[in-house]
Amino acid sequence: MDGTGRSDGPAGVNTKLYLCSLSLAAALLIVIRLFALPHLGGATKVSLSDTIISIVDALTGAAVASLCVSLLVVFFYGLRRQGPMEVQVAAPGSISAELDKAAGATNSWDYRGHTARYFRSAVLPTLLRRAERQGHYLSVNVQVLDPDNGELMDFFAEYRRNANPDRRDYWTRRRAQAEIAATIIRLQLLSYQFSRLNCRVYLASTVSPFTIDLSDTCVIVTREKAGTAALKYPVGSSFYDSTKEDMRLSNSQSTELPLPRSATELDPGSVADVREVLSLLDILQGADDELLNLTLDAYRRPVNPYANA
């Protein structure tokens, strides 16, 4: 199987075997007709040219019959168009490039995952650069976990620790809350700065092992773990269409978090700034200095999940 999910092995071998068998059978029939049948009682000896003419006549009749049947099938059922390839496999080292490529060729993006670290640090800037350069409006829907749901944060942190035992100390409830808060703060600031950005944030209450990134050209399914390949489905595939509908339903069942555009522009540079923005967004009220510092650190120094955690 190659990097696009196609396989030439078994299919190619079966085709060659079929052609060889068909050729041998045809040769055997000719030999029998020319050399065996004339020696049977009552048989009339025939020439090679007569045999070839008979074979050609039979093949012509078969071709005409096949054409008629094909026309009937097309008339009653229509042509079945071959759709785009259903799935491509992206190696772990190429996931960033695939996401960047998709972000550079779209006017909309739907994200569903956990903390949106990579989306915040790499995908979102690419989306904004393209929108500014081409003067397009950009629609972004982001679904992250609800940072105020303590049980959910504990469950997610435990899930991440089990998925990557080498970094068990990294993921805690506070770390998960800080990463999510950093993403929301970034989106709030950009919503204020860019009038062409239409951004909506949704808070989910369930954890999935998969992260979904859906653009105008494809949907990319990843796991936020180093060394794990991603799956890419192009627009027009059945999975793309199903995922688009699934994202819509999932967002409608989540809690939408308003991003006030009328707020004063504030790019957090201190714990006090983070506290002010969280108060404005009405999330993580009463957060202590430790959580605020973790949020500020995540906001200022985003981590690439495909390389570290």
- The CATH number that applies at residue 296 is 3.30.870.10
Judge if 222 and 193 occupy the same domain: yes
Please indicate, yes or no, whether residues 33 and 162 belong to a single structural domain of this protein: no
Q: Let me know: does 153 contact 266? Beta carbons within 8 Å.
A: no
Please indicate, yes or no, if residue 309 is contained in any of the structural domains.
no
Let me know whether 54 and 164 are in one domain: no
Residues 23 and 172 in one domain: no
Q: Is residue 107 one of the residues assigned to a domain?
A: yes
In a domain, 83, yes or no: no
* Closest CA relative to residue 105, chosen from 211, 215, 213, 194: 215
Residues 34 and 135 in one domain: no
Same domain for 45 and 103: no
User: Is residue 168 included in any domain, yes or no?
Assistant: yes
Last residue of a domain, one of 21, 51, 77: 77
What pLDDT, on a 0 to 100 scale, did the predictor assign at position 214?
Answer: 98
Do 251 and 282 fall within a single domain? yes
The CA distance from 57 to 55, in Å, is 5
User: What is the structure's pLDDT at 292?
Assistant: 96
Taken in order 128, 131, 132, 133, the sign of the CA dihedral is positive
Number of domains the chain is built from: 2
Domain ends where: 48, 77, 106? 77
Same domain? For 173 and 251 the reply is yes
- CA–CA gap between residue 146 and residue 204 (Å, rounded): 6
CA 138 → CA 71, 125, 162, 220, 297, distances in Å?
A: 47, 12, 37, 19, 27
CB-CB contact of 99 with 122 (8 Å):
yes
Residue 111 counted as domain residue = yes
Half-sphere exposure of 246 (CA within 13 A, CB side): 12
Per-residue pLDDT of the chain (309 residues; tens, 9 = 90+): 444 444 444 444 565 665 566 566 656 656 665 665 556 555 455 566 666 657 655 655 564 555 565 556 556 554 444 455 678 999 988 999 999 999 999 999 999 999 999 999 999 999 999 998 988 899 999 999 999 999 999 999 999 988 887 777 889 999 999 999 999 999 999 988 888 899 999 999 999 999 999 999 999 999 877 688 999 999 999 999 999 999 999 999 999 999 886 555 677 889 999 999 999 999 999 999 999 999 999 999 877 666 544
Q: Does 156 share its domain with 22?
A: no
Instruction: Classify residue 4: in a domain, yes or no.
Output: no
Listed in sequence order, the residues at least 6 apart from 209 whose beta carbon sits closer than 8 Å to its beta carbon are 159, 163, 223
Amino acid in the structure at residue 258: P
Q: Find the domain containing 39 and state its range.
A: 9-77
Same-domain check for residues 30 and 140 = no
**Are 187 and 121 in contact, with CB atoms under 8 Å apart?**
no
The domain boundary, picked from 24, 50, 77, lies at: 77
Are 204 and 228 found together in one domain?
A: yes
In terms of domains, do 22 and 101 share one? no
